[in-house]
Amino acid sequence: MTPNQSMLWTDRLRNIMPWGSSTISKAPKFAPDEPGAIVRGKGCRVWDADGREYIDFRNALGPVTLGYCFDAVNEAIREQMVNGIVFGQPHPIECLVAEMLCEVIPCAEQARFLKTGGEALAACIRLARHHTGREHVIQIGYNGWLNSLSAAGAVLPGRIGPAAPAGVPESLCMLHHACRWNDLSQMQAIFDRYDDQIAAVVIAADYSKMEDGRTFYPAVRELTRRNGTVLIFDEIVTGFRIAIGGVQEYFGVSPDMAVFAKGMANGMPISVYVGRRELMQDFGDVIVSSTYGGETLSLAAAEAAIRTYRDQDVVGHLWRQGRRLVTEANSLFEQYALGIRLEGMAPCPIFVFEAETGKTDTDRLQDVFFRASYRHGLSFYNVSYVNFSHRDEDITEAMDRLDAACGEIASEGADGCG
């Protein structure tokens, strides 16, 4: 195959940086079918370095909830840019957006800003340790790379480490305990083993089984309350998607603290850590500070995004179009008997691959599926999202492309392609 611009960018990136990307999950895994570099996006579509168009369900791994180059957000950024990006004192928009967030997030009485969800969770964990005088932390799901500290915990989304993560001292690893989603007996066992030593429980939902949160979240809330433990919800993915206020709004269970990031500003880099006033005021003693926490372009984008969520029923659209994606895609998978399905809640469903003879075949099926999807102009990820710019006609066209991709897989046989 003649090298194309996308492949050339992949080679250059791999030569100059580990993994070939600053974000591991963005490094092309299915080259040459997967684009090596995306150069622009509009609405729900992206174009690679060779000009090939894709209907996009990756959405930058989740932050793009409204669509690429969404007019209201872009205009807010342009207007603020004229007046300055970052200053030596707070800008009024820092207060305004914090107030907006405290209106829409159930547990939020005060708020502060950082740039990534992982660092905001680290801030919450540090505060929980100070507030309780305890050291141990229970973690469910992936809470960002700098919080991936426990043995056999999530080191990446969906990837469990077999032992202590590389570069983590054993003494620190022993203070962090991985717990499975919706496994109250395992959590209780950790509480029993470290009686009166658990500072915090941090929960990121299992996307394929998120509905279990209807009973799991209230049970964890009661368990942490009985034990004087700070409950922290990782709403990095679920916030502004399952509901504006995330799973705590959807399931009606308020944690002590929470972190929101992806979806907060339609792709601009920003995160917020919020919580009860009693806890948040401990940040007078627990020092968390960042030069760019109050950077105004991201805050302007967040203000515009939140107004759009509130005024245009964005979340309702994500549910409606997500249900259509899940229903019609699963119908195609069943029609072609591929052993693939989408599971979980409609705004953020996850692909599940069910090859019959074990992991090797499952991996091959996954490889074949994503490669075929890219060849037919569909950009999927393990967790695939719709955004506010996915209109009915886009979903129709995407399903036509998926039909062609599934037909190709079925005609060639999963063992024979990829």
Least confident of 43-57, 158-172, 338-352, 400-414: 158-172
For residue 1, name the pLDDT band (cuts at 50, 70, 90): very low
Report the C-alpha gap between 377 and 48 in whole angstroms: 11
154-156 vs 350-353, strand pairing mode: unpaired
Per the CB < 8 A criterion, the answer to whether 163 and 146 are in contact is: no
Range 149-155, long-range pairs (CB < 8 A, 24+ positions): 149/173, 149/175, 149/176, 150/176, 150/177, 150/178, 151/178, 152/178, 153/178, 154/178
Q: Which of 147-161, 285-299, 324-338 bottoms out in mean pLDDT, i.e. has the lowest? A: 147-161
Q: Is the pLDDT of residue 417 over 50?
A: no
Q: Are 141 and 206 in contact (CB under 8 A)?
A: yes
pLDDT exceeds 50 at position 179: yes
Cα 147 to its chain centre, rounded Å, is: 15
CB 121 within 8 A of CB 202: yes
Separation of alpha carbons 38 and 49, rounded Å: 6
Q: Mean pLDDT, to the nearest integer, of 235-264?
A: 98
State yes or no: pLDDT of 214 exceeds 70: yes
Angstrom CA distances, 20 to 12, 36, 49, 103, 323, stand at 8, 10, 16, 41, 34
pLDDT in tens, 334-359: 999 999 999 999 999 999 998 655 55
| CA-based nearest residue to 165, from 179, 181, 144 | 144
Greater confidence (193 vs 4) lies with: 193
32/296 Cα distance (integer angstroms): 39
% residues pLDDT > 70 (the chain): 96
Arithmetic mean of pLDDT, 261-284 = 97
CA distances from 97 to 261, 293, 301 (A): 13, 12, 10
pLDDT of residue 11: 93
Residue 411 exposed, middle or buried by CB count within 10 Å (0-12, 13-18, 19+): exposed
What pLDDT does 418 receive? 40
How do residues 380-416 score in pLDDT, each as one tens digit?
Answer: 999 999 999 999 999 999 999 999 999 999 998 744 4
pLDDT tens string 112-121: 999 999 999 9
**Percent of the chain residues past pLDDT 90, beyond the cut:** 90
pLDDT at 358: 58
Q: Which residue has the higher pLDDT, 180 or 7?
A: 180
Q: Which residue has the higher pLDDT, 412 or 206?
A: 206
| Least reliable range by pLDDT among 53-67, 130-144, 344-358 | 344-358
Mean pLDDT, the chain, whole residue set: 95
pLDDT at 163 over 80: no
Highest mean pLDDT: which of 151-165, 198-212, 400-414? 198-212
